[in-house]
Structure 1
């Protein structure tokens, strides 16, 4: 048994506006199947997508705190000209420069209109075929421990595991990467960005949740009430949800 990541949740006060921003950032389409705004590849709403991780922007009442998000997206580009054009276009759409202590780096750190940090990367061969989302990046204290937990939790395979950096990707070799970076500091606020995981058809959600608890996940109350998904936190406190089978 294993779960598959199906989308990235981004919390926003104005989910519609932030959803439109992310659609422009990724070159995708914003859909409104409900209160949330789902951003996915053009051509019609397909969920779960066989390759891409969609971005589901969900409305919340409270704005982001000043604390840096512990999870962010890296956006891939294929040329220096594309990187420059994309950064300029996103700034016109409401993105702002963000200082997360990056110093002199070849990528550009921005924040979306509600302050969620993300990176527009310089061209890198490793992200040549990921699609617009190069990676979901998670700050952590112990990349090796995170790789062990997430490598068991989901059906993605490890590509690199060191003391400072761990990388997983779908076993099919498609779509974005999940990366864990050793980063100073600790989690001080609820995550504004997190992953949603989905059981495969025929798998038992309750059994999957129990399996995750045995791996070190803990139950999480974010005021979700009576919902068909289960909110959990990984061993370092990063929130994620296990959805009902689709």
Structure 2
């Protein structure tokens, strides 16, 4: 039996707004939208869907599914996303881009200056879900 990671489901109060925000942040595409579900995927997933036999089952791209919940977020996430800009990116400029899109800085106890300073920035999306923007990577 083959099994693969298929998607991440994200509880949201406003599924359309959250999906659009994350699609813009990641340069992903909305591939399905209804009142109670919005799906975003990376562009490679759209290409793979056009010819699914060209990509092995285990190597197909994952998507994110936004679903509605009545309650807002109340505590720190138990799991979070790490995003990384490419190696030629300016980390500070990317943080500013995300803030300009609606992210906000979050203090989860990280050390931000001195010899033990972390190399990432903790942010939250418009509904308060924490994520990290790592230093540029290959």
CA contact (8 A) 2:19 2:40 kept: yes
- Report what 2:51 is aligned to: none
- Report what 2:96 is aligned to: 210
CA contact (8 A) 1:143 1:162 kept: no
CA contact (8 A) 1:147 1:161 kept: no
Once the two structures are overlaid, the 10-residue window that deviates more, 133-142 or 200-209, is: 200-209
RMSD in angstroms over aligned alpha carbons? 1.5
Cα deviation for residue 211 of structure 1 reads: 0.6
- Long gaps (5+) in structure 1: 1-76, 79-130
User: 1:142 and 2:14 equivalent?
Assistant: yes
Structure with the higher helix share, 1 or 2: 2
Distance 1:216 1:163 in 2: 23
- Report what 1:243 is aligned to: 134
Q: 2:108 aligns with which of 209, 213, 222?
A: 222
Q: Secondary structure at the match of 2:80?
A: strand
Deviations 1:5-36 (A, max 9, x none): xxxxxxxxxxxxxxxxxxxxxxxxxxxxxxxx
- Long gaps (5+) in structure 2: 46-59, 112-116
CA contact (8 A) 2:20 2:30 kept: no
Distance 1:155 1:203 in 2: 15
Count residues in correspondence.
118
Q: Which runs of 4+ in 1 moved over 3 A?
A: none
TM-score of the aligned structures, taking structure 1 as reference length: 0.46
Q: Which has the higher contact order (CA 8 A, sep 6+)?
A: 2
Q: Secondary structure at the match of 1:161?
A: strand
Cα deviation for residue 235 of structure 1 reads: 0.3
What is the 5 A alignment of 1:128-207?
132-173=4-45, 174-207=60-93
